[in-house]
Structure 1
Amino acid sequence: MADHHAHHHDTGGHHHHHGILHTHAPTGKMGKAFVLTCAILIVELIGGWFSHSLALMSDAGHVLTDVFAIGLSWFAIRQSVKPADESMTFGYARSGILAALVNGLTLIVITLWILMEAYRRLQHPGHVHSLWMFISASVGLCVNLYLALGMRHEENLNVKSAVLHMLGDAAASAGVIVAGIIISFTHWYIVDPLLSIAIAVLIAFGAWRIVRQTMKILMEGTPQTVDFRAVVDELKALPGIQDVHDVHVWAITSGQNALSCHAVLDGNMTIRDSQQVLRDAEHCLAHFGIGHVTIQIEDGSHPHENRELCAHKEDALEHHHH
């Protein structure tokens, strides 16, 4: 697939590669996964209805989160290949992050519903038909393993989270199968709500992880894979750079990191000399997984706050008035 994010501006032999680190995801595989996951959801909902098993219903709840996750990832992947335009200069890659946030919050709601229902059933355990549990959960287990194994080598974070969902689902389905076997031999119907609570906890952990990651990206936080101090130290160590300040490192979407900073160069340096410094800086940052780099070049007399992190606007205005 063509990389829509690589724009080549030839400025005197100086090539810019923006977003080289963007990994495209397999749209076809995601489409297939979406259809098959919907099929599992229907089978488990019907099975849960006939067997009166909350564990199977909560497994279906878990699968529903997958339908969300895969549907959203599929949508996000198709959005992220749309080229940037004048109204969305960073492109549409972050639509996947918004989608993931909605997905994470929905999971938390589903978890609460399962816990409330499990609490009710622990007080009044009902009759559960284990054969239906067994059949429906087996379908879920097989399809999820088939999908997860087919996509386990993909790098895209959206796909990775979908694969984690599928493996979690497979584990939950396996749990339901075991519960079905226990109930058919012992008639301990209490096993069913207890397992539901375990599945709810599984969903909650996944949800919290998604919400935390998406919030960090939406808050323009420094990506987890980037060591801010190390980046600043490496930039300062480059020949020709006297100092750097006003450094920002953020992710446009997962796997697409960006950096902007002001670099103080020797005042006697020509523009041509400064190009070599820029090339060195871009090369150095590529090793940190930062593909989108913007550097403002200044000499020592340019007014600025003497710190790496940007000062608050009020401070900057104060500074101007003096």
Structure 2
Amino acid sequence: MAREHAHHHHGPGDHGHHHDHGDILHTHAPAGKMGRAFALTCIILIVELAGGAISHSLALMSDAGHVLTDVFAIGLSWFALRQSVKPADEKMTFGYARWGILAALLNGLTLIAITLWILWEAYHRLEHPSAVHSLWMFVSAAVGICINLYLAAGMRDEENLNVRSAVLHMLGDAAASAGVIVAGIVILLTHWYLVDPLLSIAIALFIAFGAWRIVRQTIKILMEATPQTIDFREVVGKLKAVPGIHDVHDVHVWAITNGQNALSCHAVLDGNMTIRESQQILRDAEHCLAHFGIGHVTIQIEDGSHPHDNRALCKAQDQSGEHHHHESDH
């Protein structure tokens, strides 16, 4: 039977073969917000660097170091969002959507690096406490809280993983700034200067926890793992239940970027079926997969005589690069 590929880029109610540009239009909004976030974060950096230098507060300087990472991270996220709307071309057939995933990964790694720096500086401060002037801690941290909460609130509903990583930076800064104010109050009332490096350690641990979650998510996408929101076995079961499909194999489910899921598989149909007759089966399969949030579908149809393994997962390749279960190339 001739091989046929079904390409699906639309919702369950539309079976025309076209590309949906809704994601591209949606991306312009967070890109504009990210540009504003970049400018305002630069203001926070300047204020906290000045306040940290004047007050001699490690907690404030640690937060400023985190903000410096934010300036880089948000700037990179902004660039990635602009790149991700570029259309696919012959060299990048999936488009540039994974710029955002790469940016999110780099953001997470830089957060981990700044965490190590904060812990190192806090260790030295615990050994040699120094006086801290609380007034400048209050002023600088208050500026940081107000701006970061304003920015995070404006982007809190975005699903883009890259934007979410930037929002994490902002919330982390706001929490750190709140801690700096609390530390300033303690120092003002008790002159217990050890609270400053102790707070720095708490900030570092908070940053590290969120950073690891972002890194783990981005690695899964780059490794083309099955998205967490999709049950692989359920997808296979639903495909096999589509009338006219006798079996499916070589099934792959992955995410091009956060929220853009894809699937490819081989489907075994009746060998006497015409191409026209197979179209309804393909449309039913596309409709079924749309309910799982899978919007990019490629189905290769075969008859029962085509060499294949009955397992849904493709077997590992041997050293020669040939599939163990294929007698000829697919």
TM over 0.5: yes
Equivalent-residue separation in structure 2 for 1:296 and 1:19 (angstroms): 22
1:17–1:68: structure 2 CA closer, same or farther, 3 Å change rule?
A: farther
> 2:273 aligned with 1:269, yes or no?
yes
Q: 2:241 aligns with which of 237, 250, 258?
A: 237
Q: Provide the residue aligned with 2:257 in structure 1.
A: 253
1:52–1:102: structure 2 CA closer, same or farther, 3 Å change rule?
A: same
- 1:217-260 CA deviation, whole Å, 9 max, x = no partner? 11111111111111111111111111111000111111111100
Q: 1:91 aligns with which of 89, 95, 117?
A: 95
> 2:32 aligned with 1:28, yes or no?
yes
TM-score, normalization by structure 1: 0.92
How much has 1:300 moved relative to structure 2?
A: 0.6
- 1:10-31 CA deviation, whole Å, 9 max, x = no partner? xxx9512446773525221110
Equivalent-residue separation in structure 1 for 2:81 and 2:50 (angstroms): 31
Query: Partner amino acid for 1:180?
Result: G
- 1:70-126 CA deviation, whole Å, 9 max, x = no partner? 222211111111001101111111111112212211111111111011011101111
C-alpha contact 2:48 2:141 (8 A) present in aligned 1: yes
> 2:327 aligned with 1:320, yes or no?
yes
Equivalent-residue separation in structure 1 for 2:305 and 2:130 (angstroms): 79
Structure 2, unaligned runs of 5 or more: 1-7
Q: Provide the residue aligned with 1:15 in structure 2.
A: 16
Q: Provide the residue aligned with 2:202 in structure 1.
A: 198
1:241 aligns to what SS in structure 2? coil
C-alpha contact 2:122 2:197 (8 A) present in aligned 1: yes
2:296 aligns to what SS in structure 1? strand
Equivalent-residue separation in structure 1 for 2:163 and 2:218 (angstroms): 15
Q: 2:143 aligns with which of 115, 139, 157?
A: 139
Q: Provide the residue aligned with 2:177 in structure 1.
A: 173
Equivalent-residue separation in structure 2 for 1:67 and 1:228 (angstroms): 39
- 1:262-315 CA deviation, whole Å, 9 max, x = no partner? 011111221111111111111111111111100000011100122111112227
Q: 2:229 aligns with which of 225, 232, 240?
A: 225
> 2:77 aligned with 1:77, yes or no?
no
1:259 aligns to what SS in structure 2? strand
Q: Provide the residue aligned with 1:65 in structure 2.
A: 69
How much has 1:188 moved relative to structure 2?
A: 0.3
Instruction: Give the structure, 1 or 2, with the largest relative contact order (CA under 8 Å, sep 6 or more).
Output: 2
How much has 1:155 moved relative to structure 2?
A: 2.9
Equivalent-residue separation in structure 2 for 1:65 and 1:217 (angstroms): 23
1:191–1:61: structure 2 CA closer, same or farther, 3 Å change rule?
A: same
> 2:306 aligned with 1:302, yes or no?
yes
TM-score, normalization by structure 2: 0.89
C-alpha contact 2:264 2:299 (8 A) present in aligned 1: yes
> How many residues end up aligned between the 2 structures?
312
Q: Provide the residue aligned with 1:3 in structure 2.
A: none
Query: Partner amino acid for 2:240?
Result: K
Identity %: 79
Equivalent-residue separation in structure 1 for 2:323 and 2:157 (angstroms): 48
Structure 1, unaligned runs of 5 or more: 1-5
The CA RMSD measured in Å over matched residues stands at 2.0
- 1:12-63 CA deviation, whole Å, 9 max, x = no partner? x951244677352522111001100111011111111111111111111222
1:316 aligns to what SS in structure 2? coil
Q: 1:207 aligns with which of 204, 207, 211?
A: 211
